[in-house]
Each structure stands twice: as C-alpha cells, then as structure tokens.
Structure 1
Amino acid sequence: MARKNRVALYGRLGLILMAFALIGGVVAEPLLRPLWSSRLTLAER
C-alpha cells in the first residue's frame, strides 16, 4: 500500500472514530449529568 493511500485510510478511520465519540458524548451527557453535578450547594450571603 502506498504511503499516500495509508495516510488517507488512517485519516478516514480517525474521522469515523471522532464522529462516534462525538455522538456517544452527546447521547451519554444527559445520562451522566447527575453523576457530575455536586450534591452540595453554596449558600449566598
């Protein structure tokens, strides 16, 4: 496989993986938000 073809293939695979990661993050964010939010609230004076 020529170097140019290999770089194009790896670039395509990278873009596909980034798309899946982005979609997974958008889908998982509402589910994980309760775990990230703090249980404590700061009282204003």
Structure 2
Amino acid sequence: MTRKNRVVLYGRFALILMAFAMIGGVVAEPLLRPLWSSRLTVAQK
C-alpha cells in the first residue's frame, strides 16, 4: 500500500468518525441540556 493510499484510507476513517460524533452530539444535546443549565437564579431587591 502506497503512502497516498494510506492517507486516503485514514482520511475516510476520520470522516466517518467525525460524522458519527456529530450525529451523536445532535442526539445527545437535548438529553444533556438539563445537566448543563445552571439551577442558580439571581434575585434583586
């Protein structure tokens, strides 16, 4: 396997992993939003 072919193969794997990570982030964002939001409120007199 030449160097160019190896770079192309690794690039494809990287793109596939990035696609799964983005889809996972979109799916997980509504589920994780309550954990990120602060429960602290500020009251003024």
The TM-score normalised by the length of structure 1 is 0.90
Equivalent pairs, count: 45
1:41 Cα deviation after fit? 1.6
* Structure 1 outlier segments of 4+, above 2 Å: 42-45
- % identical aligned pairs: 82
1:42 Cα deviation after fit? 2.3
> Which residue in the other structure is 1:28 paired with?
28
1:26 Cα deviation after fit? 0.2
Q: Secondary structure at the match of 2:15?
A: helix
The TM-score normalised by the length of structure 2 is 0.90
Tell me the distance in 2 between the aligned counterparts of 1:23 and 1:43: 38
1:44 Cα deviation after fit? 4.9
Long gaps (5+) in structure 1: none
Long gaps (5+) in structure 2: none
